[in-house]
Structure 1
Amino acid sequence: MDWLQVFVLSVVQGVTEFLPVSSSAHLILVPVFFDWPDQGLYFDVALHVGSLIAVLLYFRDEIGAMIRGFVRSITTRTLDADGKLAWAIVLGTIPVGLAGLLLKDVVSSYARSPHWIAWGVIIFGLLLGWADWKFRGERTERDMTWKDVAIIGCAQALALFPGTSRSGITLTAALMVGMSREAAARFSFLLSIPVIVLAGGLEAIEIVRQPQAIDWMPVLGGVVISGVTAYACIHYFLAFIRRMGVQVFVAYRIVLGIVLLSMF
């Protein structure tokens, strides 16, 4: 890869990982549009590491409190708000983890074409807009019931299909159970931590199984650029969604889907 490709893909990953527009779809489509060679698994892992570092740094205080609450829930068997939120993230990750193990080959074989991505972008974009308009409430992530966690966790499993958007489908489900926009976004960001770890871990296993020469400079550049971009995206998205909502992203998804259908 040349440095233009490194920069563009890193920025695309950093921005789209946490916006409800499907990062996997954009990472598949950008090389297609520019006729670039496939960036390879090791670079995908690097971009995920950058996004992971960004979300860990941004929510470091909340994560520290959740870890302490999680430990207290085990050692003293008392479940406070921080411990409950930690368990919600753990339990909410189980469906996507199981689905990833069962459907990985199917998704990689049949769901990565621009045509399927286009329909996923449109359909799940419309669903996000409907959830924001019809069901949005004022509950926070600390007001969730275990049923809410199960609904959001199962919805997250749909993100295995490119075009769905992990953040988009979790935002949709959180809004449908009556959470506010900002609370839905915060929980979606926190829920991304184990998912990014799992996805990056599976890709790392593939790299170990199929060792290849690695040019470390693009890898390190991808980590830094995607991390900085993702951190800024989290900060400004939370402020944006609080004031403006998600409809602009719905409109973007519809336009993107129509363009893809017309091209492919």
Structure 2
Amino acid sequence: MTWVEAIVLGIVQGLTEFLPVSSSGHLRITSAIFFGRDAGASFTAVTQLGTEAAVLIYFFKDIWRIVRTWCLGLVDRSVRSSLDYRMGWYVIVGTIPIGIFGLLFKDQIRTAGRDLRLVATTLILGAIVLAFAEYWGRQTRTLENFRMRDGVIMGFAQAAALVPGVSRSGGTLTAGLLLNLTRETAARYSFLLAIPAVVISGVFSIPDVFEPSAPGTAAPSGAQMIVATVIAFAIGYAAIAWLLRYVAHHTLYLFVLYRVALGSLVLCLLLTGTINAT
């Protein structure tokens, strides 16, 4: 991997991780169009450690309060009715689907799942579902109304993002809107829900990123991996604040249009032979 490639992909990861446009899909597309190869699923997973570090810092007070209350609630019944204690369980249970599917389909995620035809198709189909959720969702429920059922459903939506192009935040925001949650509520739970899955996936992918098994995959040096991850952290931190402000006052139709346009562009590039699907 060249330094330009590492820096560009770090920027792309930071810009797109929290937007409902699929960061993994963007890394795959960017690699194919500008560098003629695939950075690989492991590179994506490790750079996501940077953006998740941004989440840990941005929501540190909330995360610490939830973790402390959850631990206390294991021995003290009096705190078990609190939202923070319940939110701890919502995140734990909501993480289970992506853990199971990630293990079951690990090989497919690293190979067939990175086919650009699939990425482009899921970008467009995901946009259609997101548009329906934005139009249909009543957005009457806040975190105080959040229930275990919501956590499980949004957990399965997060698991769908194992396919590049679906989008972790896009899937969870879509599910949240269909459950009549406000956009801001769905976004906040989405940030919390991603932490365990992304951190575990990133840590376990570190050895693979330097010795990729997929043919044609670019292997970064340790220094390049660190720089890309730090860049993703810095840009991702700013993106969190921007997204929370945006969803509080705007619809998600802008992202719908963007996903359709990008997916259509990739399909055109594939049909003309400008880029290869694999």
The TM-score, its normalising length taken from structure 2, stands at 0.88
What do the CA deviations read for 1:130-161 (whole angstroms, capped 9, x no partner)? 10110131312332111111111122211111
Alignment match, 1:20: 20
Give the AA of the match of 1:129.
Answer: A
The whole-number CA distance in structure 2 between the counterparts of 1:94 and 1:100 is: 10
Alignment match, 2:6: 6
Structure 1's unaligned 5+ residue stretches are: none
CA contact (8 A) 2:130 2:170 kept: yes
Q: Name the CA shift for 1:38/1:20 in 2 (closer, same or farther; >3 Å).
A: same
Percent of matched pairs sharing the same residue: 37
Structure 2's unaligned 5+ residue stretches are: 214-218, 271-278
Comparing 235-244 and 28-37, the one that deviates more: 28-37
CA contact (8 A) 2:24 2:44 kept: no
Alignment of 1:218-229 (within 5 A): 218-229=224-235
Alignment match, 2:91: 89
Give the AA of the match of 1:12.
Answer: V
CA contact (8 A) 1:85 1:141 kept: no
CA contact (8 A) 1:43 1:222 kept: no
Q: Which structure has more helix as a fraction of its residues?
A: 1
Comparing 200-209 and 106-115, the one that deviates more: 200-209
The whole-number CA distance in structure 1 between the counterparts of 2:179 and 2:40 is: 38
Alignment match, 2:145: 143
Question: What value does the CA root-mean-square deviation take over the aligned residues?
Answer: 2.1
Once the two structures are TM-superposed, the CA of residue 30 in structure 1 deviates from its matched residue by 0.6
Q: Name the CA shift for 1:39/1:61 in 2 (closer, same or farther; >3 Å).
A: same
Alignment match, 2:167: 165
Aligned length: 263
CA contact (8 A) 1:21 1:168 kept: yes
Q: Name the CA shift for 1:39/1:110 in 2 (closer, same or farther; >3 Å).
A: closer
Alignment match, 2:237: 231
Q: Name the CA shift for 1:128/1:41 in 2 (closer, same or farther; >3 Å).
A: closer
Q: Name the CA shift for 1:207/1:239 in 2 (closer, same or farther; >3 Å).
A: closer
CA contact (8 A) 1:56 1:63 kept: yes
CA contact (8 A) 2:97 2:156 kept: yes
Alignment match, 1:48: 48
Q: Name the CA shift for 1:207/1:249 in 2 (closer, same or farther; >3 Å).
A: closer
The whole-number CA distance in structure 2 between the counterparts of 1:86 and 1:122 is: 33
The TM-score, its normalising length taken from structure 1, stands at 0.92
Once the two structures are TM-superposed, the CA of residue 75 in structure 1 deviates from its matched residue by 1.7
